[in-house]
Structure 1
Amino acid sequence: MTETITNAIAVRDNGPGALVAQHRSDIELVMPSHMQKRVGAWIRTTQGLLRRDEKLLKAAQNDLGQFMSVLLDAARLGLEPGTEQYYLVPRWNKKKRCTEVTGVRGYQGEIELMYRAGAVSSVIVEVVYSNDRFDYRPGRDERPLHNIDWDAEDRGQLRLAYAYAVMKDGATSKVVVLNKGHIAKAMAKSDSTGQDWSPWKTDTEAMWLKTAAHRLAKWVPTSAEYIREQLRAQADVAAEQQPTALVAQLPQPIAIDEDEAIEAEFVDEEAEQ
Structure 2
Amino acid sequence: MTENAISNAVAVRDNGPAAQIEQYRDEYAALVPSHVNADQWIRLAVGAIRGSKDLMEAAQTDVGVFLRELKTAARLGLEPGTEQFYLTPRKSKAHRGQKIIKGIVGYQGIVELIYRAGAVSSVIVEVVRTNDTFRYIIGRDGKPVHEIDWFGEDRGEMVGVYAYAIMKDGATSKVVALNRRQVMEAKAKSDGRNSEYSPWNTNEESMWLKTAVRRLAKWVPTSAEYMREQLRAQAEVAGELAAAPSAASVPAMPQPTALDDADPDDEGPLEGELVD
TM-score range, shorter chain: 0.7 to 0.9
Change (3 A) 1:106 1:141: same
The change in CA–CA distance for 1:13 and 1:84 in structure 2 (over 3 A counts) is: farther
Question: Do residues 133 (structure 1) and 133 (structure 2) align?
Answer: yes
Normalized per residue, the structure richer in helix is 1
- Tell me the TM-score normalised to structure 2 length: 0.78
RMSD after superposition = 2.0
Partner of 1:15: 16
User: Any runs of at least 4 consecutive aligned residues in structure 1 with deviations exceeding 3 A, and if so which?
Assistant: 10-14, 234-238
| Residue identity (%) | 60
For residues 222 and 95 of structure 2, the distance between their equivalents in structure 1, rounded to whole angstroms, comes to 34
| d(CA) in 1 for partners of 2:63, 2:15 | 13
Distance in 2 of aligned mates of 1:225 and 1:66? 28
**Is 2:168 the partner of 1:157?**
no
Alpha-carbon distance, 1:225 to partner: 4.2
Helix, strand or coil at the partner of 1:34:
coil
- SS at 1:177's partner residue? strand
Alignment of 1:73-112 (within 5 A): 73-97=72-96, 98-112=98-112
TM-score (norm 1): 0.79
Q: Letter of the 2:154 partner, please give it.
A: D
Structure 1 contact 133–148 (Cα < 8 Å) conserved: yes
Distance (whole Å) between structure 1 residues aligned to residue 133 and residue 45 of structure 2: 40
Instruction: Determine helix, strand or coil for the equivalent of 2:153.
Output: coil
Instruction: Decide whether the 8 Å contact of 2:119 with 2:227 is kept in 1.
Output: no
Larger radius of gyration: 1
2:46 is aligned with what amino acid? Q
Q: Is the 8 A contact 1:11 1:18 kept in 2?
A: no
Q: Which has the higher contact order (CA 8 A, sep 6+)?
A: 2
Residues 89-238 of structure 1 mapped to structure 2, 5 A cutoff: 89-97=88-96, 98-227=98-227, 229-230=229-230, 233=233, 236-237=236-237
CA positional deviation for 1:110: 0.6
The structural deviation recorded for 1:230 is 3.0
- Is 2:53 the partner of 1:54? yes
> Which runs of 5 or more residues in structure 2 are unaligned?
1-10, 241-276
Unpaired segments of 5 or more residues in structure 1?
1-9, 241-273
1:31-46 matches, cutoff 5 A? 31-35=32-36, 38-46=37-45
> C-alpha deviations, 1:114-147, integer Å up to 9, x for none?
1111100110000001110001011110000000
